[in-house]
Each structure stands twice: as C-alpha cells, then as structure tokens.
Amino acid sequence: MSGRFIALEGVDGSGKSTQAGLLADALEAAGRTVLRTREPGGTPVGELIRDVVLAAPSLSMTLLAEVHLFAASRAEHVRAVLRPALAGGAWVVSDRFVDSSLAFQGAGRGLGIDAVWELNRSAVDGCLPDLAVVIDVPGPLAAARRKPAPDRIEAEGEGFHARVAEGYRELAGRFPERVRLVDGRGTPDEVHARVRDAVAVLA
C-alpha cells in the first residue's frame, strides 16, 4: 500500500517547520507510520548541500549553481528516502520540497517558475507531494518571526521575500489540486487546526 506525501511550504518565518512537526505528531497519534524529513537535506548528501546553500550571507553563489544544488539534494532525497518510504506505506511529512525552488528561485530570484521546474523535472522524477500546504502570512509577520542570525537566503531583502510569497500564491492558483494556501496568522495551535483541515482530504 502506497503512503501519502505532504510538504509544508512557506516563506522564511512563516512557521512551516513548526507546523510540519505538529502535523507529524498528529498523524502518529492517529496511528500512521510517519517519516519526517526536510529539504534541502534528508540524506547525508542533502545535508552537506544544505550547509553550502544555506551558509552565511557572505557566501557568494551564482543563481544557476544555487538552483542545481537544490535539485541535486532533491534527486538524492527522492530516490534514497521518499520513494522507499512511500512504497512501504509511510506518510511522509517534508519541511519543503520542489515548490520551494519554484517560489524562491523561480519567483524570488526571477528565474521563472517554468524554467526552475524544467531544471527540477528529472530530480523529482514524477514524485510530487499529494498535497503541498503553504503557510501564508503577511510580510511583516514573517519578518518578525525570522531568526536573528539569518542564513544567506533569509538575509535577502523584503522585496525578495514578497516575491517568494507571491510565487507561492501563483502556484496555488496554477495547481489547486496539490497546492493549498493556509492562513498562518494566529497561535501555532490555531494554524495547526487549519493545516489538519487541509490535510483531511487525504484521509
């Protein structure tokens, strides 16, 4: 029996990592076998790539190098972790997946959503989330939530993060069958209730 694949998405500071943990806890409490993972990362190779792409803001990197590093981490993640877990019937809860690249590099960096998708097509190899839940929050709230020692992507200006947010909204409009916006305002428990409602369609 195949499992289910859910990705938690959103701008930096949206609270999506907190929501990924709460959702995984809830699924386990309901008796599901759950694999918790993240991108970039999720494998030894992916974690090394994570250290590079999310390094200190002083590290300079070309856009194409950034896009391909994320895709390389994803290719390893899909083949070494995600497909085996799903084939074994697990519910996978991932803190980010390919929609992050479409929003951050496609919309935020200006490379274009379609262009970034083409760069990721072979990495994903048809393994897309059953549902990508985007924690949608106003820009000032996300900025207030971001950590004080930002990585090189968190350290980008507010214009960049606004474009990323709009990118996610565009994805929800283009792919409503698999990308769902959830209001990220309120307490973690209030947002979690909305996430649970969104995920209920997979039960």
pLDDT at 203: 75
**pLDDT tens sequence across 123-175:** 999 999 999 999 999 999 999 998 887 889 999 999 999 999 999 999 999 99
Q: Residue 61 pLDDT more than 90?
A: yes
pLDDT at 160: 96
Q: Residue 200 is which amino acid?
A: A
Number of folded domains in the chain?
Answer: 1
pLDDT at 1: 55
**pLDDT tens sequence across 6-31:** 999 999 999 999 999 999 999 999 99
Please, which residues have CB within 8 angstroms of residue 90's CB and are 6 or more apart in sequence? 3, 32, 33, 34, 35
Domain of residue 83: give its range: 4-202
CATH label of the domain that carries residue 167:
3.40.50.300
Q: Which helix (DSSP H) or strand (DSSP E) does residue 38 occupy? A: strand 34-38
